[in-house]
């Protein structure tokens, strides 16, 4: 991967009548990177992908691919193949015929077509199904055919629109590995739209979070997870405890914030300096808090909470909690061994605590 952008969105707007689907976004996609675009339904992520593919035209702004303006360039002249959620394979063709279709359309001669298709059949481990009709394949096998069909032309960029959403959980994990390995081996730019945080965070070099047609945050997965920029991002990730209130003190690297749940200390944020009296919102990830039957040690933040319930998530569990007034919903993600030491029956009282440095003040929020 290089820092040189392969794709540039420059002030791009897309309107559908009076509805603004994409609202003046600026985005650079680097050559050779795996970029994931996330957001809830209606966020603009799929519209952004479709504009890059040439399936929608921008209302305003400019899209450049390899330095060339492509706003009005037809889809078939862009070399931006897409893997669809539905896969869009030809059900009346064999696996081999599906993969070689785009080569045939480009006029590649028969011997060269066969050689390239054979290479991709082997790479995707579907050689034994070459003469089989795609309708008779499993979901994972069809997914591999769709990838081979898109990559056999050796494009610079591959667009993927929620390609794993129809697969079972175990197949999703397997295909995530296939996609990650392919992208690294080929050095092709992948632009991947998904609702799934686990997919985006496990595969992407950078993640774009969108809401209401705008980009809320761009960064690597750890940056976004540990340091969300706005309340929307923190809520979208679903792993943050969110506290909003008024700054009552600033002491060097520490900020004291009074909230309805109590007064807490958080580390100051260079991206959002605050002064006494300012409104501020800070978050603490659910895996950075502690649960105990005892009040927190000196120097730690703490709030007494009641147990609402547990949610098992593989090797860990998320304990859902609320403060005494029932006005603030909180959570803690812990191993089962840690939780065995506590009474977690609904209504039981425990202490939730965390170190001040675990609190992150949202730079894009004013409380």
Q: Where are the domains of the chain?
A: 5-226, 234-361
Average pLDDT value for residue range 150-156: 91
Tell me if 5-226 shares its fold with 234-361.
Answer: no
pTM higher than 0.75 for the full model?
yes
**Position 85 pLDDT exceeds 80:** no
Fold of the domain spanning 234-361: OB fold (Dihydrolipoamide Acetyltransferase, E2P) (2.40.50)
What is the dotted CATH code of the domain comprising 5-226? Answer: 3.40.50.300
- pLDDT bin (cut points 50, 70, 90) of residue 84 is confident
pLDDT for position 209 = 97
> Is 194's pLDDT higher than 80?
yes
Q: What is the pLDDT of residue 326?
A: 66
Whole-angstrom CA distances from 43 to 1, 47, 170, 197, 307 are: 27, 9, 28, 15, 34
**Structure confidence at residue 367 (pLDDT):** 57
């Amino acid at each position: 991967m290089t820092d040189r952008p392969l794709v540039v969105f420059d002030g791009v707007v897309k309107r559908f009548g009076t509805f603004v689907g994409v609202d003046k976004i600026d985005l650079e996609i680097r050559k050779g990177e795996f970029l994931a675009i996330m957001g809830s339904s209606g966020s603009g992520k799929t519209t952004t992908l479709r504009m890059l593919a040439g399936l929608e035209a921008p209302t305003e702004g400019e899209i450049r691919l390899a330095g060339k303006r492509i706003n009005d360039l037809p889809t078939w002249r862009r070399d931006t193949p897409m893997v669809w959620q539905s896969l869009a394979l030809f059900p009346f063709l064999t696996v081999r015929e599906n993969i070689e279709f785009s080569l045939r359309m480009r006029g590649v001669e028969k011997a060269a077509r066969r050689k390239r298709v054979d290479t991709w059949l082997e790479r995707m481990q579907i050689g034994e199904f070459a003469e089989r009709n795609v309708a008779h394949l499993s979901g994972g096998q069809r997914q591999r055919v769709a990838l081979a069909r898109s990559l056999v032309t050796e494009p610079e960029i591959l667009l993927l629109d929620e390609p794993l959403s129809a697969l079972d959980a175990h197949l999703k994990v397997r295909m995530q590995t296939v996609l990650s390995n392919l992208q690294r081996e080929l050095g092709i730019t992948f632009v991947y739209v998904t609702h799934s945080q686990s997919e985006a965070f496990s595969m992407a070099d950078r993640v774009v979070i969108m809401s209401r047609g705008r980009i809320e945050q761009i960064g690597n997965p750890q940056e976004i997870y540990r340091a969300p920029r706005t309340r929307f991002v923190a809520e979208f990730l679903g792993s943050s405890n969110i506290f909003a209130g008024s700054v009552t003190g600033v002491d060097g690297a520490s900020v004291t914030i009074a909230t309805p749940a109590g007064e807490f200390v958080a580390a100051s944020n260079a991206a959002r300096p605050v002064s006494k009296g300012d409104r501020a919102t800070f978050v603490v990830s659910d895996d950075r808090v502690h649960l105990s039957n005892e009040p927190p040690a000196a120097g730690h933040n703490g709030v007494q909470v009641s147990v609402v319930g547990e949610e098992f998530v593989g090797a860990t569990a998320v304990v859902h909690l609320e403060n005494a007034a029932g006005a603030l919903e909180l959570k803690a993600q812990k191993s089962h061994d840690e939780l065995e030491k506590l009474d977690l029956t609904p209504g039981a009282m425990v202490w939730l605590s965390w170190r001040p440095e675990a609190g992150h003040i949202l730079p894009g929020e004013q409380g």
